[in-house]
C-alpha cells in the first residue's frame, strides 16, 4: 500500500505523545513496578487489538454514527480507570511492606485482565481506528477489513515499543523512590492519583480526540 509510510509517520507522531494507555502504564509502573507495567502494556495492546477487530468488521462505523454508544464506552472506561486509581491509592501503604520482599504483589493475571479492559474501553483507540485509519486505506487495493487489520497492526507494533519505553523509564524512577519507604508510599499514591486523574479527564472531556 502506497499509504503505509504516510500512515506509519502519522501513527508514530500520535503514539509518542502520552495518551490514556501511556499514562495508565506509567501509573502502574509507579504503583506496582516494572513487571506489572510491561504486563499492562501487553494487556492494553490486547484490548486495543480487539477494538481494531470490531472496527474492521464495521462496529467503528456504528460507534461514530451513534454519539450515545461512544459516550457509553467513554464513561465505562473512565469509571474503570478511576476505580483502579482509587484502589491503588488506598493500597499505597502496603508498598512500604513490599520493600523487604517483592514490589510486584498483584497477580499477573489480574494486572493483565485490568489492562485489557482499559484497552477495550479506550475511547481514543476507537476514534482513531474508526475515523482516522480508514483515510489511509485504498479501496482499489482490495479488502478494506484486511487493510484495516494490517494498518492497525502496524500502529500497535509502534505503540508496544513506545509504551514499553515509557514503562521502563517509569519503573526505573520507581526503583529510585523504593530506596526510601516513605518515598515509595508517596510514589504509590501518586501513581494511583495519576490513574484517577486520567479517568476524570476522559469522563469530563467534551470529545475523545
pLDDT in tens, 89-103: 776 665 555 444 444
With respect to residue 4, please indicate whether it lies within any of the assigned structural domains.
no
**Length of the chain (residues):** 209
What's the number of domains the chain is made of?
1
With respect to residue 119, please indicate whether it lies within any of the assigned structural domains.
yes
With respect to residue 112, please indicate whether it lies within any of the assigned structural domains.
yes
pLDDT in tens, 9-35: 777 766 776 667 777 888 888 778 889
Q: Retrieve residue 197's grid coordinates.
A: 486523574
Nearest-5° Cα angle at 117, 146 to 28: 115
With respect to residue 92, please indicate whether it lies within any of the assigned structural domains.
yes
With respect to residue 208, please indicate whether it lies within any of the assigned structural domains.
no
Cβ–Cβ contacts within 10 Å for residue 147, how many? 21
With respect to residue 1, please indicate whether it lies within any of the assigned structural domains.
no
Q: Is 22 in a helix, a strand, or coil?
A: helix
Domain, as residue range, for 84: 26-99+108-203
The single-letter DSSP state of residue 106 is S
Query: Which pLDDT score is estimated for 202?
Result: 62
With respect to residue 189, please indicate whether it lies within any of the assigned structural domains.
yes
Amino acid at each position: 500500500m502506497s499509504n503505509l509510510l504516510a500512515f506509519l509517520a502519522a501513527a508514530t507522531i500520535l503514539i509518542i505523545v502520552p495518551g490514556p494507555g501511556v499514562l495508565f502504564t506509567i501509573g502502574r509502573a509507579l504503583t506496582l513496578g516494572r513487571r506489572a507495567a510491561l504486563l499492562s502494556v501487553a494487556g492494553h495492546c490486547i484490548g486495543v487489538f480487539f477494538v481494531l477487530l470490531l472496527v474492521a468488521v464495521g462496529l467503528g462505523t456504528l460507534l461514530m454514527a451513534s454519539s450515545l454508544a461512544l459516550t457509553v464506552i467513554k464513561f465505562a472506561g473512565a469509571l474503570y480507570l478511576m476505580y483502579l486509581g482509587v484502589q491503588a491509592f488506598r493500597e499505597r501503604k502496603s508498598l512500604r511492606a513490599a520493600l523487604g520482599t517483592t514490589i510486584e504483589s498483584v497477580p499477573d493475571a489480574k494486572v493483565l485482565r485490568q489492562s485489557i479492559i482499559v484497552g477495550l474501553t479506550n475511547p481514543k483507540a476507537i476514534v482513531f481506528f474508526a475515523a482516522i485509519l480508514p483515510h489511509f486505506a485504498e479501496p482499489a487495493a482490495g479488502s478494506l477489513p484486511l487493510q484495516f487489520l494490517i494498518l492497525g497492526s502496524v500502529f500497535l507494533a509502534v505503540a508496544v515499543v513506545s509504551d514499553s519505553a515509557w514503562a521502563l523509564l517509569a519503573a526505573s524512577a520507581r526503583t529510585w523512590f523504593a530506596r526510601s519507604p516513605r518515598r515509595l508510599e508517596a510514589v504509590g499514591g501518586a501513581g494511583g492519583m495519576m490513574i484517577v486523574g486520567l479517568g476524570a479527564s476522559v469522563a469530563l472531556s467534551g470529545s475523545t480526540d
